[in-house]
Amino acid sequence: MKIKEIIVVEGKSDTQAIQRAVEADTIETNGSAINRQTLDMIQHAQHIKGVIIFTDPDNPGERIRKIVSQNVPGCKHAFLTRQEAFGGKTRSLGIEHASPEVIRSALEKVYTESDEQEELISMSQLRDYGLIAGEKAKSRRERLGERLKIGYTNGKQLYKRLNMFRISQADFESAYQAILQEEQHG
């Protein structure tokens, strides 16, 4: 499988894992110490070939995703769940721990940021569904992020991602109903 866009990853081990799974070029941010020169390179890559941001499903990875996204508009995003990126004995999370099949699957389901401001899913709907406040909110957001392949988020980030990636009301409802069924049968 060949990827035409350039994939933004955190480090060398992520690049190696990507290259075991697909044929693609990468730009490494060298962790969360992302500098202006790296951002300029990513911006140039976005202009020439397009960019897919593919960072680890942890706080530093989300921080890098946010910095790149704010500085380079229109990026595509690929996500792994925490389970898919779990390093087992090392107890760390990272793309480097994911299987080639999981990496290919994530790259087949990328989301593109949308500049449209239309709200598809409201903050009050997220509150009403127990995704922002309540004892099950964090766990529900985590499972929703896994089902929709948008990564783990806090409440505010969930609202932004659902709308930024244009997740339809139908897809949102379907994922949410599956989560409720899991809770009833779990």
CATH 3.40.1360.10 domain locations along the chain: 1-113
- Find how far residue 103's CA is from the centre of its chain: 12
pLDDT band (50, 70, 90) for residue 117: low
**Environment class of 150 (CB within 10 Å of its CB; exposed 0-12, middle 13-18, buried 19+):** buried
Burial string for 120-137 (b: 16+ CB within 10 Å, else e) reads: bbebebbeebbbbeeeeb
Q: What's the pLDDT score for residue 72?
A: 94
pLDDT tens digit string along 137-171?
Answer: 999 999 999 999 898 889 999 999 999 888 999 99
Mean pLDDT score across all residues of the chain: 92
This prediction has a pTM of: 0.82
Q: Which is more confidently placed, 29 or 59?
A: 29
DSSP 144-170: HHHHHTS----HHHHHHHHHHTT--HH
Q: Is the pLDDT of residue 12 over 80?
A: yes
Share of the chain above pLDDT 90, in %: 75
For the domain made up of 1-113, give the CATH fold.
Dna Topoisomerase Vi A Subunit; Chain: A, domain 2 (3.40.1360)
